Amino acid sequence: MKLNYSIGIDIGGTNTDIGIVSADGKIIDKENLPTNEYYDADLYMKDVAEKIKILLERNKISEIDGIGIGAPNGNTYTGSIDNAPNLNFKGQVKLAEMMKKYIDTKVVVSNDANAAAYGEMIYGGAKNLDHFITFTLGTGVGSGIIIDRKLILGSTSTAGELGHSIIIINGRQCGCGRKGCLETYTSAGGIRRTALELMEHNPYYSGVLKDIAPENLTSKMVGDAANAGDPIGIQTFENVGYLLGIAMANAVTFSAPQAIFLMGGPVHAGEVLMKPLRKSFDEHLLNIYQGTVDIRVSELKDNEVAILGAAALCQL
Amino acid sequence: MKLNYSIGIDIGGTNTDIGIVSADGKIIDKENLPTNEYYDADLYMKDVAEKIKILLERNKISEIDGIGIGAPNGNTYTGSIDNAPNLNFKGQVKLAEMMKKYIDTKVVVSNDANAAAYGEMIYGGAKNLDHFITFTLGTGVGSGIIIDRKLILGSTSTAGELGHSIIIINGRQCGCGRKGCLETYTSAGGIRRTALELMEHNPYYSGVLKDIAPENLTSKMVGDAANAGDPIGIQTFENVGYLLGIAMANAVTFSAPQAIFLMGGPVHAGEVLMKPLRKSFDEHLLNIYQGTVDIRVSELKDNEVAILGAAALCQL
């Protein structure tokens, strides 16, 4: 199918970003709205639709493939957001249905991690791949799974929650109520937590991270320290890479993908993460898969992936 | 599509079983051949084809949907067996191509665990399910994954090796060369191993399992002991159920299935396995999936699943 322009909407707890995306994956214009100032979802969608109309007019675009919406707890089957904890809209909010009242086009809703995976396929490094998985390291660890160029939704539209696969039985307490989830170790917060734990166990450590108040420490600081040769920083990312490598090797036993893509802030730490990650992945990958799977960094920019992923959903 | 009769071929290291399967999943007649007496794959396929012709003639059947072959290391994409360790045929053996020389029909090859999953969908308890996963407990732990009624093969035809997902990092040595694979704990051999370890750690134990020479102990004996109230037997199956429950909860984060089916000998231990398994699964299942996934026992008989699974492949 010949791609036209698509609209990508990224609904965050604070802001809503709305972009027009060209067929070759460029965000040609953007608008935004303060999500947290709305309590009536229908009024909110009406204003989002107004912004879209402004964008289309300003760019003299009359035809679009559709509107894609990436949102926390976005449900592709129902076109709704279901009980999203960080939004003012409670219960099930049927965004697609609401939007169609204002703009009569294809509207597809998905959660942000699934949208990111689809974005990688339509606009990023997976254009020519049939089978791949993405892991997004951020506040949590999101994931999206593509098999035979289809986004895996499962029976509930909530497939691909690999951040909540249990990597260490009875491990760290997770916000989900269980213990040992991958994201307790490899999210931005998990990285921070590992650095703090390592400092606690190394009382004689006197590097750069020691001087930062624990509440101010970020995964970015840990990554910067690692890249400057700091031993706690290095050890932290070795730990993250080790566990991510195992989680990825486990994911391969499921869908035998051609590649696994990493995205999100901590990935910018670079080789201090990627080197131990690749080593662990190779060590823990079942022999029959050796040489069949690449570990790659996403080709979408962090600040564009949400809109691009949402826009890509129009091709679903 | 209206189903006709299908041929299911189960290639084992010692024996090859060949069955005619009716549309409603009954094996109406069978033949077999000694796999291990053949060193020439083409001659072997010729003799298998002869057996099929005998079966068809004896049962006055002129039309079949096709021939399905379940085999260790069966590759669906290439119609071949690739480097199967327990067969005399080395390298890549293109079974489908060979068979078509003798019987001109659809021929589909798959590994036995994937075939079992497909059999559950066509003839078993998953006839009305779109998304499910099967775990087969046996010499190893096999698995098959169905998403949107499609068998997941991945990029290499070797998707669905959940028996080799790592459940305990640096855990038990696995035959695959790595450590902590699910099958080291939950295969028949893993069950035996757990019982022996528990006895070693409980020197005052004096139950029925104590009297069995370690080399003679089987997972069936452990299951029988558990059902007779033996504490080591019970504890062993509690451990197996606990770890399987976690592995299954992890699998749900991948494909959000409607059900997970268990098959294989150890499943006949019954509630001593199923009760701790369900408890662990519920405890370790991410909240968003609660109430959406059933743990079920396969509706295919152990001694029929290989032929039925292979025959089901004709519908692939």
Residue A53 has pLDDT above 70, yes or no: yes
Residue A1 banded pLDDT, cuts 50, 70, 90: low
Residue A87 tokens read as 């939004």
Residue A241 has pLDDT above 80, yes or no: yes
The whole-model pTM stands at: 0.96
What values do phi and psi take at B76, rounded to 5? -70, -35
Residue B2 has pLDDT above 70, yes or no: no
CA separation for the pair A116, A311 (Å, rounded) = 10
Q: What is the pLDDT of residues B100-150, one digit of tens each?
A: 999 999 999 999 999 999 999 999 999 999 999 999 999 999 999 999 999
In chain B, residues with a C-beta closer than 8 Å to the C-beta of A154 are 131, 147, 255-257
Residue A71 has pLDDT above 80, yes or no: yes
8 Å CB contact between B110 and B69: yes
Average pLDDT over residues B172-199: 97
Residues 6+ apart with CB under 8 A from A94: A78, A79, A80
8 Å CB contact between A214 and A220: no
Q: What is the pLDDT of residues B289-300, one digit of tens each?
A: 999 999 999 999
Residue A4 banded pLDDT, cuts 50, 70, 90: confident
Neighbours of A156 (CB within 10 A): 18
CA separation for the pair A7, A5 (Å, rounded) = 7
Residue B289 tokens read as 């999936």
8 Å CB contact between A79 and A94: yes
Average pLDDT over residues A192-215: 96
Continuous H helices in B152-187: 183-186
Query: So what's the pLDDT on residue B16?
Result: 97
Residue B61 has pLDDT above 80, yes or no: yes
Q: What is the pLDDT of residues A171-203, one digit of tens each?
A: 999 999 999 999 999 999 999 999 999 999 999
User: What is the nearest CA distance from B204 to chain A, expressed in angstroms?
Assistant: 29
Describe the crossing of helices A231-255 and A188-201 by its angle, rounded to 10 degrees.
130
Amino acid (one-letter) located at A75? N
Place of tokens 């993405």: A134
Q: Which residue would you say has higher pLDDT here, A305 or B3?
A: A305
Contact at CB, B256 and A166, closer than 8 angstroms: no
Query: So what's the pLDDT on residue B75?
Result: 97
Closest CA to A240 of A203, A291, A199, A276: A276
Residue A187 tokens read as 């999210």
Contact at CB, A162 and B253, closer than 8 angstroms: yes
Contact at CB, B155 and A251, closer than 8 angstroms: no
In chain A, residues with a C-beta closer than 8 Å to the C-beta of B258 are 155
ipTM: 0.96
Mutate to test the interface with B, among A167, A173, A255, A292 (most CBs of B within 10 A): A255
A256 secondary structure, DSSP code: -
Contact at CB, A253 and B289, closer than 8 angstroms: no
Average pLDDT over residues A225-233: 98
Q: Which residues of A touch B (CB under 8 A)?
A: 130-131, 145, 147-148, 150, 152-162, 164-169, 176-178, 246, 249-251, 253-258, 283-284, 286-289, 292
End-to-end CA separation in angstroms for chain A: 12
Residue B37 banded pLDDT, cuts 50, 70, 90: very high
- DSSP letter string over A275-292? HHHHHHHHHHS-GGGTTS
Residue A84 has pLDDT above 90, yes or no: no
Contact at CB, A154 and B257, closer than 8 angstroms: yes
